């Protein structure tokens, strides 16, 4: 791929063009899928002819992979921001759940969750995209797991809480709820799952020690 061009700071013209292509192609792939996204649609969305696209990305698959990674970054940033909005580990988990659930009503990217879309489509047809979907899901599991582990260490999460089990429950429940919400065009499915998950997560909230409660009242 070309890396030559006018440089502004540390970003070249070629890099800026690549990013613009990815930003415009990501919604197409996320809505249509790798197989369903035609080159004509990509040309229209990006404003570049087929040759121009291949000049920056060697193949449609390479563009699809870059677009998927970009879409996942958008979701990941949203979840990380949600985590940072709370101090207590349990509240962080709930914030992450609610942030993802808002996508059922107001998708961060046209087409909804890129991980679910890509994992389903690429399961047996595109090993490269499937591998990237697994990496993205691993990152999401690590986000939840790290919250649980830290919460356990500082006494905010009940000792013995399995971070891997909770990550599986949260991600599978939310992805399943998103699928149902889209299938029936009814976000109520997501609302029900969120209520269930919040109640489940509250069960691992560690009781506040008596000494800490006394100090809080005094303040």
Task: Give residue-wise pLDDT tens across range 193-212.
Answer: 999 999 999 999 999 765 55
pTM over 0.95: no
pLDDT band per the 50, 70, 90 thresholds, residue 9: low
Per-residue CA distances from 209 to 34, 163, 213, 214 (Å): 53, 23, 6, 9
Domains of the chain, each with CATH number or no CATH: 7-207 (1.10.357.10)
Identify whether the C-beta of residue 193 lies closer than 8 Å to the C-beta of residue 145: no
pLDDT at 3: 37
Among 117, 98, 115, 95, CA closest to 106: 98
Q: Quick: pLDDT tens for 108-133.
A: 888 889 999 998 887 777 899 999 99
Average pLDDT for the chain: 89
Give the separation between CA 3 and CA 18, rounded to whole angstroms. 10
């Amino acid at each position: 791929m070309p890396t030559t061009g006018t440089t502004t700071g540390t970003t070249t013209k070629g890099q800026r063009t690549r990013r613009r292509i990815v930003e415009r192609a990501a919604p197409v792939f996320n809505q249509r899928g790798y197989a369903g996204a035609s080159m004509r649609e990509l040309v229209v969305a990006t404003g570049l002819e087929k040759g121009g696209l291949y000049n920056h990305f060697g193949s449609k698959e390479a563009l699809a992979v870059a677009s998927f990674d970009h879409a996942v970054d958008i979701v990941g940033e949203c979840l990380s921001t949600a985590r940072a909005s709370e101090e207590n580990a349990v509240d962080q988990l709930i914030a992450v759940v609610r942030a993802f659930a808002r996508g059922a009503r107001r998708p961060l990217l046209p087409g909804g969750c890129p991980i679910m879309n890509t994992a389903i489509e690429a399961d047996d047809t595109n090993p490269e995209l499937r591998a990237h979907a697994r990496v993205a899901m691993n990152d999401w599991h690590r986000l939840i797991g790290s919250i649980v582990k830290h919460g356990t260490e500082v006494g905010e999460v009940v000792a013995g809480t399995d971070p891997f089990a909770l990550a599986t429950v949260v991600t599978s429940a939310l992805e399943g709820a998103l699928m149902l919400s889209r299938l029936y065009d009814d976000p109520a499915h997501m609302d029900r799952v969120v209520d269930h998950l919040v109640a489940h997560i509250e069960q691992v909230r560690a009781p506040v020690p008596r000494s800490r409660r006394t100090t809080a009242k005094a303040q």
